[in-house]
Structure 1
Amino acid sequence: MKKKKLLRFLLTPPKILVLGFVLIIFTGAFLLSSPLATSGVESLSFVNAIFMATSATCVTGLAVIDPGIHLSTFGELVLLFLVQIGGIGFTTMATLIALLFNKRISLKERLILQQAMNHGSMEGIVRLIRKVILYSLLIELIGAILLTFRFAMDMPFWKAAYFGIFHSISTFNNAGFDIFGNIREFSIGFNSYVNDPYINLIIMVLIFLGGIGFIVISDLLSYRETRKLSLHSKIVLSTSVFLIVFGTLVIYMFEYSNQNTLQALSEPGKLMASLFQSVTTRSGGITTLDIASMRQSTQFFMIILMFIGAAPGSTGGGIKVTTFAILIGAVFTMARGKEDVVFFRYRIAKEVVYKAITLTLLSFILVIAFTMLLSVTEDHHFLSILFETTSAFGTSGITMGLTQQLSPVGKVAITFLMFLGRIGPLTLAYALTPKQQKPTFRYPEGKITIG
């Protein structure tokens, strides 16, 4: 009995979250390394299986193999199952099972759910989980049906339905995996649909909905009744729209005359491709242009967008748009000589500002450290290494072609970084740090010169 109580005390919500992800990844790796998971004679090596399982569970989309070519239908379904669990969250799936069996959700389990969803409080957390599951399945179903109609023009209906389901789940969960290698000698992903407004619109909507987070989706759907949005939703939506519009304009200007990307497209095609790349960069992982053929200025700009990432409580990674908004707000506050960071007539607590700064600095250190490591282990251009590292951390899944050329050490490094990017550096820090006692005294204030 004492051991059980001690175990409950030691396993804090952040630790359970980390251990849960690790368990799912290793289970997925075991299944992917089996002969049933590959279409060829040779099974995946354990390193490759771990990489793919981590990429799927952390909804990143980076792949050391082409899923459509090297994986069997069983392997693709394992990958898709990992994407679904990783996107919605294993805690959400466990809660669904508990609710189906009428099991009461304990206080500890609510704390874990709150941690997993990045929710501000435990109030209404179970109700939110129900909505998350319902919204996710409904959006994925609608996306699958719409994509099936279009894919049926290019392939038999049963294959189109399978492709529709796979790519709807992969896209909504911001994983970015595609299986077009299944029908071609080599995969070029969605690049062949660069001029297709139907496909572009559906994929962009799925990425956007997956990236703004379930809390915001719930707010939007209940807006007709409440006639108001929470501060969180207002910041996420306004910042996301700004980044999408600004990103579209920058990519359009930088790539306009690039003969390998936008130059060959019509004027509406240029705008649509620029918009698509702007939407997908922050976490989607699906592209309609060759990223390696872009100008270095565009590639570096995309690195910044990937680092920012999606919204809290979403299927995306990065430092999150709310963190970015708070940092920008803090800069403007200091520049104007004010004391409080204010959004929509609401003051942001100083603890939240400190957390945003801490998260950003930890994330920056992680990206720089892993970039330096890969610069030693991989014989490639620095920008492509920085791009790959940021993509792994931001769980974006976009690559300049480095992923499949990684050395074993490079694969392990990127695997670990994808894991860190999904759970968040702060969550890992909380999981590894012993519980601190509240100090009984404060040190005297000191003076230091800044700037």
Structure 2
Amino acid sequence: MLKIDFSQLGDNHKKTKDYLDPPKILVLGFAAVILIGALLLTLPISTEDGNGLSFLDALFTATSATCVTGLVVVDTGDTFSMFGELVIISLIQIGGLGFMTFATFLFLLLGKKISLKERLLLKEAFNNFSLAGIVKLVKRILIFTAVIEILGGTILAIRFSFDMPVGKAIYFGFFHAISNFNNAGFDLMGEFRSLTPYVEDPIVVLTICSLIILGGIGFIVMNELFEYRKTRRLSVHTKIVLITTLILTVGGTILILLFEYGNDQTLGPLSNTGKFLGALFQGVTPRTAGSNTLPIADLTHSTLFLTIFLMFIGAGSGSTAGGIKITTFAVLIATVWAQFKGNEDVVLFRRRVPIETILKALTVVMSGLLIVIIITFLLSITEKGHDFIVYLFEATSAFGTVGLSMGLTPELSPIGRVLIIFTMFAGRLGPLTIGFAITKRRKKEAFHHPKGNIMIG
């Protein structure tokens, strides 16, 4: 009689299912994009000198671009040819929107039906709550991105045309619009200057700040704002993102203005308008953008510590930005406040926050802190001759996929570069996604252990 071992079949099915989990596919997909980008940047055609980059430098640059970070070991404008710059901006666009968005776009162009597995991947990529309307959301994301980048690129191109030939101005305008909307921070100004020549220019500053904020609030929020005229309501998620973004931006701007007002190396020599624009830009860019109009290494320690705090928080979930995300920060602050008041439930906008959400927020924060602490510790060993705050700043910038640097990145040893590559990758995908990708699928416990009393505080 033929016997079938159904238990073995179940095990094989489980293995296949685990292998195809969305977190695994997202991690492998990003890794594949980075590897392809790195190989392209090693080609002679990618650099001005015709020699290409070493593989480690190419891998670092490709990781920074795909993870929309902006940390660079070589200056983008001085080192790369137009081909190399186009590779970088393509990686930024793919990394900012997610490779699954581009795959879906190609499927739609080819008339291919979006399968359930692909919808699950999109749900995971955007950290969305449900599968309903996910393909429609992707279509809108592509439209939002095109409109915002074209508008921002046009404004910047017109402004840059007063400083350079029209063709170059158009190229610069759209490169910087794409880079900053995707919160990448790559620039073509040369000599590691970023946007410091335009610190007092209201057109450049306000346009770039707008691009950074729009890219950082997240596509879910953009979509809800777009539909607000019809629905007349906003979700708790959107309210938290908008209000927290406003508080952190305004608060950061005011504090930086106070901390740097008399600093002769930063805001001191500027006009009153210039001081405000400089403080505003420096208050916005830690939302994981990476461009800067003030020299980072010359900022006071107060501003540097504030910047580290803002970089660690980052921007909105499901956006082009990194960090622990402002919703995570808001949930933990609300939890602490509820504990102080003696409330059993954590409530935001008259909605109770589930315990699962609080535990997830706590896990994200603790994972992020551990990564930053460990990488800071290792950098202090591998890279000698710098103050501790330099290592902490660089590690936080990499984890938050920000791209701001106090000057350490170009001087990193090979081991230091590998450490930052890992940190950027972990920061972009998120500790939870990587954790789920390398561990077994979570199971519901069949039984509960007895409670143990532990003294806290």
TM-score by length of 2: 0.96
- The C-alpha deviation readout for 1:232-283, integer Å capped at 9, x for no partner, is 1100000010000110111111111111001111122211211111111121
Partner of 1:206: 211
> Which letter does structure 1 place at the counterpart of 2:441?
K
Secondary structure in 2 matching 1:180: coil
**1:350 and 2:355 aligned:** yes
Partner of 1:395: 401
Distance 2:130 2:279 in 1: 38
Secondary structure in 1 matching 2:292: coil
Change (3 A) 1:217 1:436: closer
Secondary structure in 2 matching 1:83: helix
**4+ aligned runs moved over 6 Å, structure 1:** 2-5
Q: CA deviation at 1:373?
A: 0.5
Q: How does 1:50-449 map to 2 (within 5 A)?
A: 50-181=59-190, 186-379=191-384, 380-449=386-455
Q: Quick check: 2:43–2:51 contact (8 Å CA) kept in 1?
A: no
Q: CA deviation at 1:445?
A: 2.0
Q: CA deviation at 1:134?
A: 0.9
Q: CA deviation at 1:52?
A: 0.1
**1:39 and 2:48 aligned:** yes
Distance 1:73 1:259 in 2: 37
Q: CA deviation at 1:34?
A: 0.6
- The C-alpha deviation readout for 1:42-90, integer Å capped at 9, x for no partner, is 3211000000000000000000001101100000000000000000100
Kindly tell me the number of residue pairs found equivalent between the two proteins: 446
Secondary structure in 2 matching 1:280: helix
Distance 1:218 1:156 in 2: 37
Distance 1:26 1:89 in 2: 15
Secondary structure in 2 matching 1:443: coil
Q: Quick check: 2:18–2:440 contact (8 Å CA) kept in 1?
A: no
Q: Quick check: 2:328–2:361 contact (8 Å CA) kept in 1?
A: yes
Greater displacement, 220-229 / 66-75: 220-229
Distance 1:230 1:28 in 2: 38
Distance 1:420 1:82 in 2: 17
> Which letter does structure 2 place at the counterpart of 1:61?
G
Distance 1:189 1:352 in 2: 38
Distance 2:402 2:129 in 1: 25
Residue segments in structure 2 that go unaligned for 5+ positions in a row:
1-8
Greater displacement, 240-249 / 432-441: 432-441
Partner of 1:24: 33
User: Share of identical aligned residues, percent?
Assistant: 53
Residue segments in structure 1 that go unaligned for 5+ positions in a row:
none
> Which letter does structure 1 place at the counterpart of 2:359?
Y
- The C-alpha deviation readout for 1:189-211, integer Å capped at 9, x for no partner, is 21111111111110000000000
* Alignment RMSD (CA, Å): 1.3
Distance 1:274 1:387 in 2: 19
- The C-alpha deviation readout for 1:92-148, integer Å capped at 9, x for no partner, is 000111111221212211111111101111121111111111101111011111111
Change (3 A) 1:146 1:341: same
> Which letter does structure 2 place at the counterpart of 1:170?
S
Q: CA deviation at 1:219?
A: 1.0
Secondary structure in 1 matching 2:195: helix
Q: Quick check: 2:18–2:441 contact (8 Å CA) kept in 1?
A: no
